[in-house]
Structure formats: C-alpha cells, structure tokens
Structure 1
C-alpha cells in the first residue's frame, strides 16, 4: 500500500509539472496565458486614454464658483472707522483760560473741554529784601555759622533768602518758631504762591477733520503744545 501511495504522488507531481509548463496544450490542458497580446485584446477604448504631465492644467471642478460669483456671494466688509486721538495742553491760568475759551468756541460743540484743578498755595519762611548782594552774602555767612540751610527765594522775592517752603501756613509758622530758637531773628512767613485754579485743554477725539481746525487755537495756547493725553 505504501508503494502504491508513493507511485500515485509521483504521477500527480509529474502531471502538474507537465500542465503548468504547457506540455499538455495539444490536448487542451494548459493554464490561461497572461502574455501581452491577450492583455491588449482585453483593453476597452485604449485610444481614449491621455497621459497628463505634472505641468498640465487640471480641469476646474464643477462646483467651484466663478470669480464673479464668488465676489458677489462674499459678505460685505464694513467700512473702517476713522482713527481718532486724544490731545491735551496746559496748564493755563484764569487769564489764559479765558482767551482759550474764546478761541475754542469756533470748534465743533462737544469736541473740547477745559478741565480745572485747584493748585494749592505755598508758604515760605523768608529773609529779605536786602539792600544789595553784599547784604545777602553777609546773611548767608551768619546762617552757615548757625547750621541753617537756605535757598534762593525766586525772582519775585530777590534779593533775599528762603529758609524753607511749606504746603500750609501753619507748617511755615511752626518752622519759623524753630528757627527763632536757633537764633534767627529777622525771618518771616510769606505767601510764595496763592491758591489758584489751573486749566487743562482736552480734545478727547481728534480726527482728521478736526485736526485741520486746530490752527485757530495756536494764538491762545501761550506756546504750550498739544500732546497725547496722559
């Protein structure tokens, strides 16, 4: 039985080899031919095929809108508002503010304001006025000997000496008493600057049109430039 099985296996292998190599083609036994002529016969409309290179233009897709249609369907862009800038100038005293109000009256209503702030007064412990510069130098020598600091009082109180500036008259009087205990006899308290109002011109939204009208303010600005708001 074993010999018979081996013989049958050998015959089967030999038959498969002869079939796969086309040796049995004359009896109609052979695998299907895959050579080039048979493939060409199975092609459908080969003359309709075209080769496209990478540079060849691609056909437009049917659902892509034309440029005119795309422009028409795009939402309208809202106009950009004109830019504005806040400008200010100051400070101005009462007289200057009055002239500025008159000049600014030619500008559009609501385009400007004059903002007032109270400038507090200031007091000084003062020595003077002296007869001349020689008298001032003599007094400086005496103060240095007492160890007391001094300063120039400003043009309105020359020739003289300042022994201190204070934000209230009460503080200045206290300082004067302390100086008297140190040997200062001829000093007194004076008002260096009285309490007053100061004004700032403010234009919160200057656009291109308003900027062309600001020349009307130049004569009333007292040489103070318009600058960006703080």
Structure 2
C-alpha cells in the first residue's frame, strides 16, 4: 500500500512538471503564458500612452526676498529687519512740542516711535522781595554781604528781588529759611519758583535709513533738542 502511494505521488509530480514546463502544450495542456505575443495582445489602447520628461526641481527663492505670496505688510517688515537700524531720541520736550509731534508723526509706521513721559520736579526758593526800587534792592544786598550770605537773582517773574537758595521740596526750603533766620535774616520767605512740569522724550528704537527718510520728509524743527543716539 505504501509503495502504491509513493508511485502515485511520483507520477503526479512528473505530470505537474510536464504541464508546467509546456511539454503537454501540443495536447492543449499548458499554463497560461506571460511571454510574447500574449502580453502584447492584452494591452489596452497602447497608442494613447505619452512619455513625459522627468520633472525638473523648482529653484528655491532667494533668501534676501520674501515669498511671492507673502502679505505686503509682512514683506515690508522683513525688508526693514534686514536694514541696519539705530536707536535715536530727542528731548526733553514740553507739552506743546510733544502735542505737535504726535500729530506730525502719525504718518510713520505704527510702533516706530514713542513719546516717553517724564517730569521736571517743582522747585522752591527762599526769597526776599519785591523791593520798591533799585535803591531798596541795593541796601538789602549790602546787608546780606555784611552777614556773609550768598544770594542771586530770582528770575524775571520775581524781580526786583533776591534768591537766598533753591530747593527740591517745600520742606527743604523751610529748613533753609530757618537756618537763615538763625543767622540774622528777618524778611525772607519761602515761595514756589515753579510747579512740576511734564516733559517728553521722542524715541525711535529702530530707525532705519527708510524711516529716517520719512522723518526728514516731514521737515520738523528740532531747535535745541536735535535727534541723537539714545543714551
């Protein structure tokens, strides 16, 4: 029985080999072939095929320019970032000049300038006056010299008179007056020479050549506070 099974298996292998190798093709027994011309006969509309050349790589955009689809505002910022820039400032400016600059500089790009506020503090004075005439003023000067006390002119708003010292606060001025009274001064008093006053400094943190050109086109008058490098 085992010999019969081995014989059947051997005959089956021989038969498969003869079929797969095409030896039984004359009897119509052979596997479906992939050789020519069968493969050509199975092509579908070969005349419609078109050979294309290989794709050419697209060149990268130059690094110095923004991409074509970059928004205009972003492109302008990219160009400004590439320009050399310097910090410039002008001041201090009083309230009137600062107000005029706010209006004039409104045409410049947003964020390209600021007006930074500060304050000139109030100042107090130990004062003598106003005197009736120049003769009275001269007599008071002589008295102060005799007491070996320093004095100077108080400014146009308090003429004719004398300043015996200026102070940053009223308390300091009152103490200065007490010291002078102890040395023989009798007619002096404390006055406020000036009130606290707002001041502003114009700052252009990144002034490029393009921004300077825009600024020059405004023809602003800087007088005694010209633009200069930030301190």
Give the TM-score category using the shorter length. 0.5 to 0.7
Deviation at 1:168, TM superposition (A): 0.7
Which secondary structure state, in structure 1, belongs to the residue aligned with residue 140 of structure 2? helix
Per the alignment, residue 147 of structure 1 pairs with 148
5+ residue gaps, structure 2: 1-61, 65-80
2:174 counterpart SS class: helix
What is the TM-score with the length of structure 2 in the denominator? 0.61
Q: Who is 2:197 aligned against? A: 196
* Alignment pair present for 1:133 and 2:143: no
- Relative to 1, partners in 2 of residues 1:223 and 1:171: Cα closer, same or farther, differing over 3 Å? closer
SS at match of 2:107: coil
Q: Which residue of 2 aligns with 1:226?
A: 227
Q: Deviations over 1:102-141 (max 9, x none)?
A: 1111111100000011222110001112233332221110
Cα distance, 1:223 vs structure 2: 4.6
Specify the structure having the higher radius of gyration (Cα): 1
Q: CA deviation at 1:144?
A: 0.8
The Cα offsets for residues 170-228 of structure 1, whole Å up to 9 and x where unpaired, read as: 11111112212222121111111211221000011111111111132614x45521111
Structure 1 residues 172, 121: CA separation in 2 closer, same or farther (over 3 Å shift)? same
| Residue 100 of structure 1: aligned partner | 101
Counterpart-to-counterpart distance in 2, 1:168 and 1:117? 18
Structure 1's 110 and 99: CA in aligned 2 closer, same or farther, altered over 3 A?
A: same
Distance 1:97 1:222, change over 3 A: farther
RMSD over aligned Cα atoms: 2.2
Structure 1: gaps spanning 5 or more residues: 1-76
**1:141-165 residue CA offsets vs partner (Å, 9 max, x unmatched):** 0001112111121232222111011
TM-score (norm 1): 0.61
**Contact (CA 8 Å) 1:85, 1:204: kept in 2 or not?**
yes
C-alpha distance in structure 2 between counterparts of 1:132 and 1:201, whole Å: 45
Q: What residue in structure 2 maps to residue 59 of structure 1?
A: none
Q: 1:223–1:118: structure 2 CA closer, same or farther, 3 Å change rule?
A: closer
Q: How do 1:3-42 residues align onto structure 2 when only pairs under 5 Å count?
A: none
| Structure 1 residues 130 and 217: alpha-carbon distance in aligned structure 2, compared to 1, 3 A threshold | farther
Aligned 8 A contact 1:176 1:188 in 2: yes
> How many corresponding residue pairs?
154
SS in 1 for 2:98: helix
